[in-house]
Structure 1
Amino acid sequence: MESAERKRITLAMTGASGVQYAWRLLECLVAADYDVFFMISKAAQLVSATECDLQLPGKARQMEGFLTDHFRAKSGQIRVFDQEQWMAPVASGSGAPTQMVVCPASTGSLSAIATGASNNLIERAADVALKERRQLILVIRETPLSEIHLEHMLKLTRMGAVILPASPGFYNQPEKIEDLFDFVVARILNQLGIQQKLMPRWGESYIR
């Protein structure tokens, strides 16, 4: 993980259903005082507008201001990069954070990352994480899965990436849909080594 003085993480959203997971994760990362390098595909913007009525500005600088206000982040805490902003820190091993999450991860992005396509900044950032042997978490949201999808997941797992499907559990007896989002986000935060109180770990309970 990054040092306590400079906690940074890369968060990318691609065009699969389940953008609520990503927005909840971003909210938690901001609350945990992480600097977030944020990227979102055009497909993810469309899905976000469809699923949660969140109309994002088209330009990176405007989106940065919008997300900063929406999530009550500190100035500069959320940095938004365009898909062709090749001079962004995430495009190089010397500047990228040591942790990256793609949430949700479409199977198209899964394929591009598994084959090293690097056609846009999200794919390049993931490629950097793999080549530098850093933490890469892919929150896959698709069903059913074809042999192609499964082969790509296996390939990335063997490279060291973590495949974390957006599959909420029900043993915690969720009472509202937000509980299902929190279940998955809690698993992501656990993988990142970030303390969370969204959901107790197995065998633990929180005083509420």
Structure 2
Amino acid sequence: MKKILVAVTGASAMLYLQSFLEILQDEDAIVHGICSESGEQVLELEHGITPGKLPAVSKWFDCRDFAAAPASGSAGYDAMVIIPCSMGTLAAIASGITTNLVHRAADVMLKEKKKLVLVTRETPLNRTHLQNMLTVHDAGAVICPPHPGFYLKPETLEEAALTFSWRLGDQLGLHMKNRKRWGEEG
């Protein structure tokens, strides 16, 4: 059983978060979460809900709690996904600055050589954003901007988000029984 940490920061793209957590709900995985204060604000603005109303997450940690399990490599998470990942969070991770539990947990994943996937959400990108992306990539993270797979012909925003969520699931090695792939019929 995989143990996955999902972090939410203050960038627009909560549609992708919802879709990804729905996939995790159907997987054989333990899912824990951390939500930054700005993440809570954007989640409320875009979906009118609090983190506790999201699917799949069995435990939420306070973003200010440095004594929480994700602050230590001994917590045994297999992977962490930051969805969406703000440019401020990206910058903190790239700089090794750990001012909250999201930053610290990401730092732990990198030092433990565990899978860290950043669903970066900003456009257009400036030079600093790009340099920070390269820095975290070189440290071992995966940069995975939320780009749907339109070749699967999604008909709604939710279906488009699902095509991207499948890509995230692939990054984590999930089995996803209903996952559609390029070149497969049905």
**Structure 2 length as normaliser, TM-score?**
0.93
> Which position in structure 1 is the counterpart of 2:133?
153
Deviation at 1:176, TM superposition (A): 0.8
> Which position in structure 2 is the counterpart of 1:176?
156
Deviations 1:111-155 (A, max 9, x none): 001111010000000000001111000001110000000001111
Say yes or no: does 1:38 pair with 2:63.
Answer: no
Q: Distance in 1 between matches of 2:176 and 2:72?
A: 30
Deviations 1:82-104 (A, max 9, x none): 01212211101111402000000
Say yes or no: does 1:92 pair with 2:72.
Answer: yes
Greater displacement, 85-94 / 120-129: 85-94
Aligned residues: 186
Q: Distance in 2 between matches of 1:108 and 1:99?
A: 21
> Which position in structure 2 is the counterpart of 1:194?
174
Opposite residue 177 of structure 1, the aligned amino acid is L
Deviation at 1:194, TM superposition (A): 0.2
Identity %: 41
Q: Distance in 2 between matches of 1:174 and 1:192?
A: 23
> Which position in structure 1 is the counterpart of 2:98?
118
> Which position in structure 1 is the counterpart of 2:45?
50
Q: Distance in 2 between matches of 1:176 and 1:128?
A: 37
RMSD: 1.6
Q: Return closer, same or farther for 1:113/1:179 CA change in 2, 3 Å cut-off.
A: same
Q: Distance in 1 between matches of 2:19 and 2:181?
A: 18
Task: Report SS of the residue matched to 1:8.
Answer: strand
Q: Distance in 1 between matches of 2:136 and 2:30?
A: 26
Q: Return closer, same or farther for 1:96/1:119 CA change in 2, 3 Å cut-off.
A: farther
Instruction: Note the residue ranges of structure 2 that are not aligned, 5 or more in a row.
Output: none
Opposite residue 139 of structure 1, the aligned amino acid is V
Instruction: Note the residue ranges of structure 1 that are not aligned, 5 or more in a row.
Output: 57-62
Opposite residue 151 of structure 1, the aligned amino acid is Q
Deviations 1:50-99 (A, max 9, x none): 11222x2xxxxxx6xx43xx63x5xxx61110012122111011114020
Deviation at 1:30, TM superposition (A): 2.1
Task: Report SS of the residue matched to 1:195.
Answer: coil
Q: Is the 8 A contact 1:12 1:122 kept in 2?
A: yes
Deviation at 1:204, TM superposition (A): 2.5
> Which position in structure 2 is the counterpart of 1:25?
20
Q: Distance in 2 between matches of 1:152 and 1:198?
A: 35
Say yes or no: does 1:13 pair with 2:32.
Answer: no
> Which position in structure 2 is the counterpart of 1:60?
none
Of structures 1 and 2, the one scoring higher in RCO (CA 8 A, sep 6+) is 2
Q: Is the 8 A contact 1:15 1:105 kept in 2?
A: yes
Task: Report SS of the residue matched to 2:152.
Answer: coil
| Runs of 4+ with >2 A deviation | 201-205
Q: Greater Rg, structure 1 or structure 2?
A: 1
